[in-house]
Structure 1
Amino acid sequence: MKTKSEVFSRFLSLNIGTERIVKLRRLVFNKYIKCIMFHYANIPLDVIGSKSEGLDMSGSDTDIICRLDVTALEKGYSSNDTKCIWKYDSLNKDIHPGYVMLETDTNEIVSSHEILKNVLQYEMNDPLAKEQHGPAITRTSLSEDHDYVIGVQSEYWPKIAIEWIHRKRNYGWPSQEMINSIVQKGCYIVPIGSSRSHTVDDDWRLSFCLAEKELVETFNHTQLLVYGVLKVIQKEIIDTNNVQPLLCSYFLKTVIFWVVEETSFSFWTPQNILCCLHLCVERLLQFVINKNCPNYFVKGNNMFRKRFNASQKEVLVQKLWVLKIKTLNRFPYYIMKQNLNIDMLDHLINQKEELNIFRLLFMIGRLCRNMACTILSKILPINKSVLSTVKKVPILRKEFDSMLCHFIASDNKTIGNKKRYKLLYLQMKLLTENSTNNLVSGKAWLASCFYMQGKYHECLQVTDIVSDNLYVCMFHNGQKIMKTDLFKNVLNCVSDATEIRYFSSYDIIIPFKSSLLVKEISEEFSTQLLQINNKYKYSTFNICPRLYIYFLRCLCYFRLGDTQRYENEYEKMKSVCDTYCGSFSPMHNTNAFFLKIIFNKIRHNITFDQQNSFDASRVIIKHTTELDFTIDDISENEENINEHFFSTGLSSKYINDIMSVGGEP
């Protein structure tokens, strides 16, 4: 049994994450992502959800809880806070335990559904708001969806949860030091009432989300793996059509809190992981049979109250019983059938760990580059605390600095030669450093700089390196694009995440105000298009680095008068994404469509007024042969644009505005 448990534990580490990767996820989301989100929201906030706890599986989320500019204070306590204060009584027997009524200083009830309705109406007018579901609004930040919820911070620990502080604990978890730390931070009060519909609620729910995150961070790795596999079980086995509304992942978190508190820390080892999992499922089954799932902090709050009826309970009990007796026992045998022993799993775990580190580095790098552009483009104001964090963290500082080169005006004629030389030297230094970090994307801007300076041969030399090595690119935007057999061989040759990153690529982030973007492209941006992007706080657009590299090669050979070679490079540009980019084709096909038109405009000397959409359409239709597209290509391009927009989660308001001017960000 122990051997099976050890193999099972390693299998879970492979699929859920190692101790090292869990710690890194927590650092990234709780410090770096929080810092970046604060830059965009500019209000106090906390990052919660599975990813901030160190888990990143299918369905894992990142929620942002934003603090209202008001403090909640339990009656009987005093505060020196100068902010507006709402009072509450957590011991009010007329309200379900775990819920409170908030009152103003004049004893007026602060209705949760009224506050929520007003906030949601205001937030949904935000152009970045995508949709509302329940008390949350999904907003798109840097092509990532995050659920934003509001909360009022209670300065003190609520009286109804004092039992949690003094609860008798036989095994010392959580420690008294951890309890004191949690209590000092108080809790949140969120606008979700105790009814099932939440449509006319006046009461608010006590939320211990920050306390829960701290408790999860005290888990050893076996406890975290069990927590992770419980989430998988809830989603893949329990959460089917006939019981879908009955259980949620929060109940499973509550289960493991109770079980961890009531068992010895020494019990939670890889050798016992199957027993630990059985114990948690047994406790969940007990809660369902009793129709009572006590909240971990407020025992009187039965979270199964009005949750399911007798027939639904019977279905749920049957599922959990089968899970306990049969399904859990089959897990180890399933793994054994795959002939995975401990040594093989350890090797796979080490490789997966480096891949996970690479993906985290890619994500934080992309977010930081976008944030840098909003600051340097003056789309959003500079926040000193955010910049202070960026300066202290090497990876953030490096990514931020990599975007500086776009905003160095080395061709400014109003400055002296000495200052211009210094700026040019700094720009080239940043570009060279960036080009050594990455095989494809990092070299695109160095080549672009050479082209802008009229150094066409140097531009071609840099792009030669890229074009000759495209086949060894393992990932694009964090997703595998290399053929499986070659991927395995290359992966066995790289030693860490830094080398994986070198053999990867990402869509290059181009500030609209970039001094490195070739004028052949920047001149195509209409004033209206720039105004719309500024309105929605979008300071950049993305382009496939392979396309941009071949576009530069076309331009270089055209400027050098080498017709045969620019024709060859043009054909490669048209097909490069089909060869290497896979699932990214909708956006990249859109990129290719516009780059084709731009290059063909140049080589066939076709001109039209970009500000005049009627004139542009007339000229384009007249020269479809020279511009190398058909009317069907236009329809296909519109479909690609729409698919790209919706896949990246851009708001419908932004999409409508952009499409109205016939542009693409």
Structure 2
Amino acid sequence: MSKYEDPLGNINSTFIILSETFIQRISESVFVGLCDIVGTSQMVAMRRDVMDIREMVGNQAKTIGSSMLSGSYREGFRLEGSDVDVMYWLNNHSVIWDLSQSQYYKTHRQTLILCDCSDSPPGFTLLYLLSPSRDRQIHGACVRMYNRYYLSSSEFRQICIFAFQKSDNTTPHGPCASVTSGGREFDHALCFVSDFWPPSASSWIDRCHSWPQPHVVNDIVKNGCHFVAIGHPLGNHEDLEWRISFSLAERKLVYVMNHCQFVTYGLLKLILTEIFNNGVGDDDKLLCSYHMKTAVFWVIQQNTIPHWSPQNLLGGFWVCFKLILKWVYEGVCPNFFIPDNNMFLSKIHGVKQHQLFIRLSELYEKGLAFLLHSPCIRSYIIDVLYNPRNSICTDDHTLISEAQFDRNILLYETLLDGPINQLDTQICIRYLHAIEQMIGSPLLTQYQVHKLQNMTAMILQYTAFTLHMETYTPDNKLRYRADKMSCHMLKLAAKFGFITDMLYIAMYYYKTLRYTEALSIIEMIKVKLAQPYVMCMGNVNIDMYYIEAVGGQSWSKKMRQAAAWIILLSNEIHYINELIPEQQSALKNHTFPLGVPPLVLLYMLEILCYRHVDTMQAQTALDDLQTLVHYAQVQLIPSDSRNISWQILGICQQVTGNLQAALYSYQQSLRQKPFHRIQTATEMRIQSVCQLA
């Protein structure tokens, strides 16, 4: 493989003859472009902070099991089409590597599982129970062999599929149940956890001389590993084998990359999608994102690139590309933690290996010019070729303005994972207790503090409405106390949340027949939303945002004073009776909570309240809602919310007696993108309108 030694490749005529300085300028330009796509270091750090604190609170509030977001989404990427990987495990089941490790557990409380790697390929193992499991499903997934009860990975995958069976859009994907919801793919995996590092990965510890640093190695080793339900296709017991998963370790390694290394990883992921796998059928996509990540890990650890910087981005990329090409040529891709585990063994061999090598070799012969085939990267290269003297700034703080940064927080991170499932007041209390324990920590970043405040507001809102739903008593005093507590929690939530969180108070007042109080809250919200500096669902007058509002302030303050966001209505809570059919339809289809644009909900509540107070004002509010839904731009009603917006307009028209207009609105709702999967409710309402007409 000596021909693959030039770190910059063979630059063909497309690049003319480029000096090293010119290559550096192209690298800088591509780096800036990738920061636009992948995110600046500050943006990526914020994403990770938000996800870390959400996971910590969630796991502390849970009693039976734990979960972990993994994969590229957790690493900080927000690339289009990326799936979201979630791992789940029971806290009372632990895997050990030898019997001596059982001394660290209370065996009367913990079900211990022992690894048996003696007859499995590297990176895989059999798992057998040392004591009966108290979980019937786990016990039912066991197969008796050699007088032991082995956990069957194939049976466990069926349990996973059943556990996350949402509708006809759930399919098996490796060890996961893959669920498509809201245009995004979620991979759910049930797994087991070990508190101990695998003996077969001990060589990795010895390799870590320069990267990662010793304290990172120690942190990774002490957190052990996971086991996911997939066997090796060439193993002796494929249906029983489990793959050792280093997802947690990989996340920690990605976290300690510098930003140029992370951007290089992002560039490889983009090239994989746009060039390596472009036009290739799913069965022929032999390379995957995990191979790209593994290449970056090896290149960083082997210290092949002495200095990772924006000026040397393409040099680092080229070394990674050559390593992948070498692996394909040899048919060996060594797992970063267990090198004996050849990740090409079952897929990349024979004719397919040869074809892939030819394909990659052709790209190599083009040199860096093959990057021109990437739609995302092409323009940043051409900019330098046509404007070689333009200055390029790679400073993180100048690549994105404060307003753009705030907009990204609002649009993509604020309510990252939405409402909590299976709500009751006890679960809400556990979440609040977990938040209370963390809120005073001096180690929290400002984005984690903001996320905790956001979660506090959300949990208080859930608790208030859940308490109202659960309080079925003829005792007036108890009902009064519950009502007073609910009102107090909603007002407290409004102090932590967005401007539009006051709408939860208005909904509660409407639900409890306090129409005048609800209208008073609505007027207050209108005044706040009318301010020119308010950032509503990411849309803002930048000059006003800085001059008249909160430029330079903490995001927590910005959220309270100058940010409005879509209203998420958990499908398990009945906020107002008029939306129950829509929530039931969404709940039946296991989809996202109803995401209602704030102005749509505001006008709806105004119409419903004024029906009992002033019918003329109700008609005025209905006219405003009709104008909004008919003519609003995507900034006010995103495409994902158009079906629920038309539905709400139809509901308001129906309750005010305009059946013909309501029928038209319901029909329009059916024509929109079915993001909320409320078609059942829409069809039911159309039928009721036709019967009344």
TM-score by length of 1: 0.76
Partner of 1:65, secondary structure, is strand
Matched, 1:273 2:296: no
Corresponding position: 1:225 with 2:263: yes
Q: Is the 8 A contact 1:246 1:308 kept in 2?
A: yes
Distance 2:487 2:116 in 1: 64
* Residue 164 of structure 2 is aligned to residue 102 of structure 1: no
Pair 1:645 & 2:667 matched:
no
**Contact 2:59–2:66 at 8 Å: present in 1 too?**
no
Shift of residue 551 of structure 1? 3.0
1:327 and 2:369 equivalent? Answer: yes
Partner residue in 1 for 2:661: 629
Residue 495 of structure 1 aligns with which residue? 551
Give the CA deviation at 1:568.
Answer: 3.4
Query: Partner residue of 1:444?
Result: 503
Q: State whether residues 192 and 198 of structure 1, in contact with CA within 8 Å, keep that contact through their aligned partners in structure 2.
A: no
Query: Residues 494-552 of structure 1, C-alpha deviation per residue, up to 9 Å, x if partnerless?
Result: 7365658866543323468989x6xxx526747xx888888999997543321222234
Amino acid at match of 1:27: D
- Residue from 174, 177, 182 that aligns with 2:212: 174
1:193-232, aligned counterparts within 5 Å?
Answer: 193-195=231-233, 201-232=239-270
> 1:567 aligned to 619, 628, 632, which one?
619
SS where residue 150 of structure 1 aligns? strand
Deviations 1:312-355 (A, max 9, x none): 3344334433444133675663242686742498676222x753
Residue correspondence of structure 1 range 580-619 to structure 2 within 5 A:
580-582=632-634, 584-585=638-639, 587-598=641-652, 600-602=654-656
Please state whether the residue corresponding to 1:645 is helix, strand or coil: coil
How far residue 43 of structure 1 moved from its aligned partner, in angstroms, is: 0.7
Pair 1:301 & 2:341 matched: yes
Give runs of aligned pairs for residues 161-560 of structure 1, distance below 5 A. 161-167=201-207, 172-195=210-233, 201-242=239-280, 244-263=284-303, 266-324=306-364, 325-327=367-369, 333-336=381-384, 341-343=391-393, 349-351=399-401, 355-356=404-405, 358-360=407-409, 365-366=414-415, 370-371=419-420, 375=423, 382=430, 386-388=434-436, 391-392=439-440, 394-403=449-458, 404=460, 406-407=464-465, 414-415=476-477, 426=488, 429-430=491-492, 433=495, 437-438=498-499, 441-445=500-504, 452=514, 454-455=516-517, 458=520, 461-462=523-524, 464-465=526-527, 468=530, 475-476=536-537, 495=551, 499=558, 505-510=564-569, 521-522=576-577, 525=580, 541-555=594-608, 558-559=611-612
Task: Measure how far apart 1:397 and its partner are.
Answer: 4.5
Segments of 5+ residues of structure 1 without an aligned counterpart are: 605-625
After superposition, give the CA deviation of every residue in 1:604-634 in whole Å (9 maximum; x if it has no partner).
5xxxxxxxxxxxxxxxxxxxxx334365654
* Structure 2 residues not aligned, in runs of 5+: 1-20, 131-145, 441-447, 689-693
The residue correspondences of 1:151-166 to structure 2 (distance < 5 A) are: 151-166=191-206
Between 630-639 and 52-61, report the one with greater CA deviation.
Answer: 630-639
Contact 1:374 1:539 in 2 (8 A): no
- Which whole-Å deviations, capped at 9, do the CAs of 1:557-609 have from their partners, x for residues lacking one? 5555463x54333222112034335263564444444454446535x5xxxxx
How far residue 429 of structure 1 moved from its aligned partner, in angstroms, is 4.7
Determine the C-alpha separation between the residues in 2 that align with 1:657 and 1:456: 26
Aligned to 1:610: none
Secondary structure in 2 matching 1:85: strand
TM superposition shift of 1:224:
1.2
State how far apart, in whole Å, the 2-side matches of 1:58 and 1:223 are: 20
CA RMSD of aligned residues (A): 4.6
Check if 1:65 corresponds to 2:87.
yes
- State the identity %: 22
Change in 2 beyond 3 A, CA 1:424/1:492: closer
Quick one: distance in 2 between partners of 1:504 and 1:145? 29
What is the distance in 2 between the residues matched to 1:59 and 1:202? 32
Contact 1:124 1:131 in 2 (8 A): no
Equivalent residue letter for 2:450? I
- CA distance in structure 2 between the aligned counterparts of 1:99 and 1:267, rounded to whole angstroms: 36
TM-score by length of 2: 0.73
Q: Which amino acid aligns with 2:601?
A: Y
Quick check: 193-202 or 246-255, which moved more? 193-202
- Cα distance in 1, alignment partners of residues 495 and 223 from structure 2: 43
> What is aligned with 1:577?
629
Q: Any idea what the Cα deviations from partners look like across 1:182-224, whole Å, max 9, x if unmatched?
A: 2233322222111179995332222222222222222112111
Residues 538 and 630 (structure 1), Cα distance of their counterparts in 2 relative to 1, 3 Å cut: closer
Structure 2 contact 643–674 (Cα < 8 Å) conserved: no
Aligned partners of 1:473 and 1:503 also within 8 Å: yes
| Cα distance in 1 for residues equivalent to 2:63 and 2:479 | 41
Q: Which residue type is aligned with residue 102 of structure 2?
A: S
Distance in 2 (alpha carbons) for counterparts of 1:556 and 1:399: 28
Q: Distance in 2 between matches of 1:75 and 1:307?
A: 32
Deviation at 1:175, TM superposition (A): 2.9
